[in-house]
């Protein structure tokens, strides 16, 4: 009897313990009573009625990532390729998620495949390869709208890989190789052109500098020649001035010494005598000076008497 009571007590304790539930962070529990939806438990401590209440579904509210296998799609220009996608989603309504669709992940995968085929079918191959961001945006908007009744919010959709057929890949590789070779040739030609232009500009600048140097040299030579001529002219002028000054001083001294007109004429005769020392072969003496011969003789005699 005691053992039976103990067993019953233990069963009651275990039953009461099973009615106490703790919901962890970023989770939610959907609770049913007699098979019907009762309420949703959020984070914290909760107690349910024994036997009649049941936790129907434990839901993770964190953002989740699903990587779907590559799906065959056909472009507008009839090229078949394979594209695999990655979907980032989050459960926003546990009740709708629990009762909205039987298998939410499979539903999202099928919806992703059909949406991708619809979008790629309106694009050509080149557009498909260069419009990833546009495709991602369109798919996210379409999936988010379709999954809203399921309590799911699609945050982001990414095209992970775009795999075209082998022959298309070979053609693309040849095209890329040709493009790289073309760019290399263009770059090399531009480099040679710039080098030629640089060399030509260097020669031009050298010629300009050489011409400028010759111009400056000519100007300096001309200035030096001009300076030389000026100095020679100044020297000649100075010499003439000294001669004239000496002549004037001599005449003034003769006048101050009381020399008469005869002496002055004698000095003039001496000047003609100096002129005769030059290259001239004939000298014309004025008639009024010819009478000075006797005067010269008389002057010499006077000098001898003294």
CA distance 60 to 23: 11
CA distance 252 to 257: 9
For the segment 140-154, what is each residue's pLDDT rounded down to a tens digit?
999 999 999 999 999
Please give the structure tokens belonging to residue 51.
């036997």
Residue 275: CB atoms within 10 Å? 10
Q: Looking at residues 32-43, what average pLDDT do you find?
A: 89
pLDDT of residue 296: 45
**How confident is residue 270, by pLDDT bands cut at 50, 70 and 90?**
low
- What 8-state DSSP symbol labels residue 67? E
pLDDT beyond 70 at 274? no
Instruction: Share the mean pLDDT of the chain.
Output: 80
Q: Looking at residues 272-280, what average pLDDT do you find?
A: 50
CA distance 45 to 23: 6
CA distance 34 to 36: 6
CA distance 224 to 241: 25
pLDDT of residue 122: 87
For the segment 210-242, what is each residue's pLDDT rounded down to a tens digit?
888 888 888 888 888 888 888 888 888 787 888
Is residue 75 within 8 Å of 135, Cβ to Cβ? Answer: no
The 3-state DSSP class for residue 62 equals coil
Residues 6+ apart with CB under 8 A from 275: 283
CA distance 68 to 74: 18
**How confident is residue 157, by pLDDT bands cut at 50, 70 and 90?**
very high
pLDDT of residue 275: 47
Q: Looking at residues 9-24, what average pLDDT do you find?
A: 77
CA distance 157 to 88: 6
With both helix axes pointing from N to C terminus, report the angle between 104-120 and 132-147 in degrees, rounded to the nearest 10: 140
Q: Which of 144, 147, 44 is nearest to 96 (CA)?
A: 147
pLDDT beyond 80 at 282? no
Is residue 81 within 8 Å of 128, Cβ to Cβ? Answer: yes
* DSSP codes, 209-250: HHHHHHHHHHHHHHHHHHHHHHHHHHHHHHHHHHHHHHHHHH
Q: Looking at residues 261-274, what average pLDDT do you find?
A: 56
Residue 220: CB atoms within 10 Å? 10
pLDDT beyond 50 at 117? yes
Q: Which of 53, 49, 15, 51 is nearest to 32 (CA)?
A: 53
**How confident is residue 298, by pLDDT bands cut at 50, 70 and 90?**
very low
CB-count exposure of residue 191 (10 Å: 0-12, 13-18, 19+): exposed
**How confident is residue 28, by pLDDT bands cut at 50, 70 and 90?**
very high
More confident residue, 171 or 40: 40
Q: Looking at residues 89-113, what average pLDDT do you find?
A: 90
Is residue 88 within 8 Å of 63, Cβ to Cβ? Answer: yes
Identify the structural domains of the chain with CATH numbers, from first to last: 2-58 (no CATH), 64-164 (3.30.479.30), 226-305 (no CATH)
With both helix axes pointing from N to C terminus, report the angle between 261-275 and 166-256 in degrees, rounded to the nearest 10: 140
Q: Which of 104, 121, 97 is nearest to 37 (CA)?
A: 97
CA distance 191 to 166: 37
pLDDT beyond 50 at 297? no
CA dihedral 194→198→199→202, nearest 10 degrees, is 170
pLDDT of residue 265: 59
pLDDT beyond 80 at 289? no
pLDDT of residue 271: 53
N residues, the chain: 306
Residues 6+ apart with CB under 8 A from 42: 23, 28
**How confident is residue 302, by pLDDT bands cut at 50, 70 and 90?**
very low
Q: Provide the total of helices (H) and of strands (E) in the chain, helices listed first.
A: 9, 9
For the segment 123-133, what is each residue's pLDDT rounded down to a tens digit?
888 888 888 88
């Amino acid at each position: 009897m005691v053992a039976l009571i103990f067993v019953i007590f233990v069963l009651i304790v275990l039953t009461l313990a099973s009615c106490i539930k703790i919901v962890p962070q970023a989770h939610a529990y959907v609770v049913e009573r007699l098979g019907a939806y009762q309420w949703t438990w959020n984070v914290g401590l909760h107690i349910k009625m024994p036997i009649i209440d049941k936790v129907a579904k434990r839901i993770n509210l964190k953002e989740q990532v699903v990587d779907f296998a590559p799906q065959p799609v056909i472009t507008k220009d009839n090229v078949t390729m394979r594209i695999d996608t990655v979907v980032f989603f989050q459960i926003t309504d546990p009740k709708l998620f629990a009762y909205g669709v039987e298998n939410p992940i499979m539903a999202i995968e099928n919806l992703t495949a059909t949406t991708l085929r619809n979008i790629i079918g309106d694009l050509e191959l080149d557009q498909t390869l260069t419009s990833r961001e546009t495709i991602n945006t369109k798919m996210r908007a379409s999936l988010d709208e379709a999954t809203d009744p399921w309590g799911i919010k699609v945050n982001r959709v990414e095209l992970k890989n775009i795999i075209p057929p082998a022959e298309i890949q070979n053609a693309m590789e040849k095209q890329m190789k040709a493009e790289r070779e073309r760019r290399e040739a263009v770059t090399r030609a531009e480099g040679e052109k710039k080098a030629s232009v640089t060399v030509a500009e260097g020669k031009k600048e050298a010629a300009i500098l050489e011409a400028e140097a010759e111009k400056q040299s000519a100007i300096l030579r001309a200035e030096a020649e001009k300076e030389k001529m000026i100095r020679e002219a100044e020297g000649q002028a100075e010499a003439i001035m000294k001669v004239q000054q000496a002549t004037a001083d001599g005449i003034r001294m003769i006048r101050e010494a009381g020399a008469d007109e005869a002496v002055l004429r004698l000095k003039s005769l001496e000047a003609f005598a100096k002129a005769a020392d030059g290259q001239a072969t004939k000298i014309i003496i004025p008639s009024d000076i010819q009478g000075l011969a006797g005067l010269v003789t008389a002057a010499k005699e006077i000098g001898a008497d003294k």
